[in-house]
Chains A and B, each alone.
Chain A
Amino acid sequence: MNNEWPLWEIFIRGQHGMSHRHVGSLHAPDAEMAIKNARDVYTRRNEGVSIWVVEANNISASSPSDKGPLYEPSESKVYRHPTFFDIPGEVGAM
């Protein structure tokens, strides 16, 4: 049996009010140790107020070759941005 500790992806909330952000990964035998290790590896200088750990093999990712079909459709939809519409100045703030 492979005795290498599994890889965990680490997400840290930098300060209250912010979302958790991916900061890196590390190896640990289980979630509890992954959190303990993440605290030592990624928050030595007050970088966080909360930690999430996810075992890396539980993450599904989009493939680089799907970039076109996934993201190109939104390029032609400029009307989704508020700046697309001209609002007369007299109307005031909108």
Chain B
Amino acid sequence: MYAQMIKTAGTGVKSREEMSEQERAFQDKIDADIKIEPKDWMPDDYRATLIRQIGQHAHSEIVGQLPEGNWITRAPTLERKAILLAKVQDEAGHGLYLYCAAETLGVSRDEITEMLLDGRMKYSSIFNYPTLNWADIGAVGWLVDGAAIMNQVPLQRTSFGPYSRAMIRICKEESFHQRQGYDAIRKMAEGTPEQRKMAQDAMNRFWYPSLMMFGPSDKESVHSAQSMAWKIKINTNDELRQKFVDQTVPQAEYLGLTIPDPDLKWNEERGHYDFSEPDWSEFFDVIKGNGPCNVDRLAARNKAWDDGKWVRDGLLAHARKKRGAKVAAE
């Protein structure tokens, strides 16, 4: 789960002559792979871009719990249920690590939450697709978490210390997510003809939305160039997408599942698979709010926030009362 289509603040990469002395010192640290910590000086645009990026990443972890949470009560065995529960709990944890990293940049948890709830901030497009059956849960772990790992592994080296540390923790846990998904879909791919059909159907529906997770090509983008100079983006979207396809094709072949792309084939010269681009008009439509589940996802988050208010307020009132009593007794 991660951020996509983050608008980089600023006007693009400055030359050294255009930079102030502070900006030059900042860029030198980044070039020398010295981490930037919250109290260090940083350009306003770096801070603003990171809040957007880490915030969207965190929101994706939290909203990402919904499509999978949908199947916890209907998991086919007690073991699968326990595994899925642990996986969804991990996603909550990942969201929390990331929110804390964003907060070190000066945004409060409530502010950033409210920006998700009122639509000012986005989450990954992938979670606006439904999980229709158990095979989809396997496909989400295998493909969606697989695509997320591609993006998250390089981000462990990102220049902002708290973000980097959050990514290191997350990556340690993410491999479990992908493996449990592959294991679940493998069981179905090796099962009855009906189960096999369900696995193929899930693959058909999740393949292109997974490719969209990397975002449209950004090799010409000045914004991406700035984010890369700041090392808050490590690879281009196309590089990561290619890596994901190259890694996933043999995994699908092992399962005997067909990737729904007639043009997919190994290119000996490039040493990579050639593949079809997803339908980017669908992607932009989903981002705009017109995906199959956008309304449901935001409604579920808003309901959880509103329904939880009395709990948050009550626990805080209790804590204040207890503290008051302690002070009075001293």
- Which A residues are within 8 Å of any B CB, using their own CB? 3-5, 7, 24-27, 29-30, 33, 40-41, 44-45, 61, 63-64
**Selected A-B contacts with CB under 8 Å, 23 pairs:** A3-B312, A3-B313, A4-B109, A4-B110, A5-B315, A5-B316, A7-B100, A25-B100, A29-B312, A29-B316, A29-B319, A30-B319, A30-B323, A33-B315, A40-B89, A40-B93, A41-B93, A41-B96, A44-B90, A44-B93, A45-B173, A63-B39, A64-B40
Rounded to whole Å, the gap between the CB of A60 and the closest CB of chain B is 12
Cα A25 to Cα B322 with chains together (Å): 23
- Which B residues are within 8 Å of any A CB, using their own CB? 37, 39-41, 86, 89-90, 93, 96-97, 100, 103, 108-110, 165-166, 169, 173, 312-313, 315-316, 318-319, 322-323
Q: Which A-chain residue is minimally distant from B316 (CB atoms)?
A: A29
Interface pair B89/A44, CB less than 8 Å apart = yes
Interface pair B318/A7, CB less than 8 Å apart = no
Rounded to whole Å, the gap between the CB of A39 and the closest CB of chain B is 11
Residues of B within 8 A of A27 (CB): 109
Cα A63 to Cα B39 with chains together (Å): 7
Sorted from nearest, which 10 A-B pairs have the closest CB atoms? A30-B319, A29-B315, A29-B319, A29-B316, A25-B100, A4-B110, A64-B40, A41-B93, A64-B39, A41-B96
Interface pair B96/A26, CB less than 8 Å apart = yes
Rounded to whole Å, the gap between the CB of B309 and the closest CB of chain A is 9
Residues of A within 8 A of B315 (CB): 5, 29-30, 33
How many A-B contacts are there with CB distance less than 8 Å?
50
Rounded to whole Å, the gap between the CB of B327 and the closest CB of chain A is 14
Interface pair A24/B319, CB less than 8 Å apart = no
Given known A30-B319, A61-B39, contact A7–B103 (CB-CB < 8 A): yes
Cα A5 to Cα B110 with chains together (Å): 9
Cα A61 to Cα B96 with chains together (Å): 23
Rounded to whole Å, the gap between the CB of A77 and the closest CB of chain B is 24
Residues of B within 8 A of A26 (CB): 96, 100
Interface contacts beyond A24-B169, A29-B315, A64-B40: sample of 10 additional A-B pairs, CB < 8 Å, sorted by A: A5-B315, A7-B103, A25-B103, A27-B109, A29-B312, A30-B322, A41-B93, A41-B96, A41-B97, A63-B39
Residues of B within 8 A of A25 (CB): 100, 103
Rounded to whole Å, the gap between the CB of B134 and the closest CB of chain A is 24
Residues of B within 8 A of A44 (CB): 86, 89-90, 93, 173
Rounded to whole Å, the gap between the CB of B227 and the closest CB of chain A is 23
